[in-house]
Amino acid sequence: MITLKTFYDEHPINETEIIEKLEADGIARDAIKAEDLTRYDQDHYGGVSATDALVKALAMEPGMHVLDICSGMGGTSRYLAYRYGVTVLGVDITESRVEGARRLTEMVGLDGKVIYEVADASRLDVGEARFDRAISQEAFLHIPDKEAAVSGCFRALKPTGGFGFTDWIATETLSDDARRFFAETFAAPRLIGLSEYGEMLEAAGFVGVRAENLSEDWRVILTERLEMFRSLEKETVSRFGRERFDTYIRNYEFFVAQITAGSLGGARFVAWKH
Ligand SMILES: C[S@@+](CC[C@H](N)C(=O)[O-])C[C@H]1O[C@@H](n2cnc3c(N)ncnc32)[C@H](O)[C@@H]1O
């Protein structure tokens, strides 16, 4: 069984990998800019276009204070800061991701605009009514108590606040065996459907909830992403070992097969506090 910590401590997208790829592109470590990092630091499907879509749906404006829930290596937090002029607090439960995010952010001089805290999203303690917007990408799949995370986000938003996120969604054809597989290999212990998410957001107090099914887009993106992970064989094997690489690829193949079969998909949700 792979724990969340192992999953992210040994993830193919990591700080060293990002920097080495940029160096291979001919950019010296001390010359790396935020825009350069964006090429390799986006750990969600669809890269910055997926973030742009959330920003648009959330009518994000310069000067806003944004909470990035499960910020990982900080790719989205940094992008929001330099592209949209907002300030960001990123929270993530995995210490190695937060430490990496802090170093990368400092490296490109965005540490005055983006800060990170180690925190469990299902026990958010970031202050009440503090944020104009909250965002999260491909992370709620890992959270068993999604209700607590959604309620914590609701509390953290100002009265005019909005929450936009993307996540995996399960369909009725997702088998119990597949659910067990995702719990044990992707640290995804409880996958829920599109309408269940909508009901959960409303139960937490959110209004104007909109959900968009992105499953077909994700099928294409994830098939390409599998190829990208395959292409990282040499680097991943040398960093984490042959067994970890082979297991990762086998598991990802199963994941893509479930998406292709329509048992799993993805969706974007936007919800408002007022
Ligand atoms: C696929 S990554 C996405 C990172 C980031 N949102 C991005 O798009 O680049 C998922 C992240 O969720 C974090 N995570 C999982 N469960 C969490 C929890 N309960 N609280 C906070 N972070 C969590 C993981 O540590 C990981 O960094």
The range of the structural domain enclosing residue 105 comes to 4-272
CA-nearest of 190, 193, 189 to 172 is 193
DSSP notation for 62-118: TT-EEEEET-TTSHHHHHHHHHH--EEEEEES-HHHHHHHHHHHHHTT-TTTEEEEE
Per-residue pLDDT reduced to its tens digit, 18-50: 999 999 999 999 999 999 999 999 999 999 999
Determine which residue's CA is closest to atom 27 belonging to ligand 1.
72
CATH of the domain at 169: 3.40.50.150
Count of domains observed in the chain: 1
Residue 201 identity: L
**What is the structure's pLDDT at 141?**
98
Burial 34-46 (b: 16+ CB within 10 A, else e): bebbbebbbbbbb
Q: Is 18 in the pocket of ligand 1 (CB under 6 A)?
A: no
Per-residue pLDDT reduced to its tens digit, 166-186: 999 999 999 999 999 999 999
Within the chain, which residues score under 70 in pLDDT?
A: none
Q: Is 38 in the pocket of ligand 1 (CB under 6 A)?
A: no
Q: What is the pTM of this model?
A: 0.95
**What is the structure's pLDDT at 118?**
98
Q: What percent of the chain has pLDDT over 70?
A: 100
Q: Is 42 in the pocket of ligand 1 (CB under 6 A)?
A: yes
**Which residues, at least 6 apart from 106, have a Cβ–Cβ distance to it below 8 Å?**
none
